[in-house]
A = this chain, B = another copy of it.
Amino acid sequence: MPTNAPLNRKLRMGLIGGGQGSFIGRVHATAAVLDNRAALVAGALSSDAARAKASAADYDIAEERAYTSFKEMAAAEKKRPDPVDFVSVATPNHTHFEIAKTFAEAGFNVICDKPLTFDLAQAEELLKVVEKSGVVFAVTHNYTGYPLVRQAREMVLNGELGEINAVRSNYIQGWLRTRLESDNQKQAAWRTDPSKSGIAGCFGDIGTHAYNLGRYITGLQPKQISCLLKVFVEGRALDDYGVAAVRFENGALGTVTASQISHGRENDLFIEVDGTKAALEWHQEEPNKLIVRKNGEPHKIYTRNGGPYLGAAAGAASRLPSGHPEAFFEAFANVYTTAYDAMVKRAAGQSFETTNTVYPNVYDGVEGMLFITKCVESSKADGGWVPFRHPKSRA
């Protein structure tokens, strides 16, 4: 560590967004350097020039690389002998597209927050740019970074669960139970504003995570979707609750439930996967445990780094012995470090996987936008089935 061989140096990171008052920018910056494989060296931290400059010191970004616009940054970094290797996009949804496109076109690797873009059209266009550019592009569906989520994925891939029949994904929160947005709470304000968040609220923000988690673990291809979106808090413009059913191509049935109006629930993303040979259960709020069940056997609790019964993925994503809990930051960092592996290969001119990557990628991002689009479409059609499958999505 830094184990960026054969690059033999730390990766240079640029940050877009994350200026003073930001929450997720700080999470990116912390996670990106957790393993000392990257250093944050440049940024366009705010669209407000003064704030952009003022925020740079918080991140130890040298004044000359504290840009006041991402366009300026892309141009300037391009000319440097030591340009950034990648940029992290930690701005509100509606700005992702232009930023990510600019950097990808300029040949920079990109780590982009989710949802990928403001709408599906942007996502498809961005996908073309990324494919053409050949850059590494990760999307921070960060919950895929948990070691035991990767263990779950490995078990499905290995066939330990048999054929998958059912996937129940849930993401239950309560923080939007009241109309916080009318109190000018900043997070609530933009997330419930269609001009910033896009066509979906709860389902765009967290429904996509729940859906993505099931897809990441199982690799099942969707075929059709039926969705019901609800607004329970009066006066709100976007959904704050919803359920969806997904028919997968193998005949499996998935359900996605997302709520932001369940009193006292914090960040309760949980998933159950039923296979013909075994079943799994995992909860994000207790991420160091994975429950594995088989008829006629005791329920088994796998622990994060708990022993040789685990596959390679969980251990590779762990930093501490089992019993020493790891959590949100480490999972976020795992998305980064697996993307770093690809960046290093790219820098060394080696080939690298682009679709079925360990980290969530641009295809997952596009599929997320498709999911949002189809959910809204179905909900408007009273929950009618709509075809749902992206031709390039991961297996």
Contact = CB atoms under 8 A, between A and B. Distances in A.
A322 B60 contact: no
Contact of A296 (B293, B308, B329): B308
A299 B295 contact: no
A370 interface: no
B308 A299 contact: no
A215 to B, nearest CB: 18
Nearest to A320: B328
A300 B303 contact: no
A41 interface: no
A351 to B, nearest CB: 28
A306 interface: yes
- Label chain A's interface by main secondary structure: loop
A12 interface: no
Copies of the protein in its oligomer: 4
Interface of A: 1-2, 10, 26-27, 29-30, 33-34, 36, 39, 58-60, 165-166, 168, 172-175, 177-178, 226, 228, 230, 232, 241, 243, 245, 251, 253, 255, 257, 259, 261-268, 272, 274-279, 284-288, 292-303, 306-309, 319-330, 382-385
Q: Which 5 A-B pairs have the closest CB atoms?
A: A264-B293, A266-B323, A267-B323, A325-B327, A263-B279
Contacts of A325: 284-287, 325, 327-328
A361 to B, nearest CB: 23
Nearest to A280: B263
A388 B312 CA distance: 48
B261 A274 contact: yes
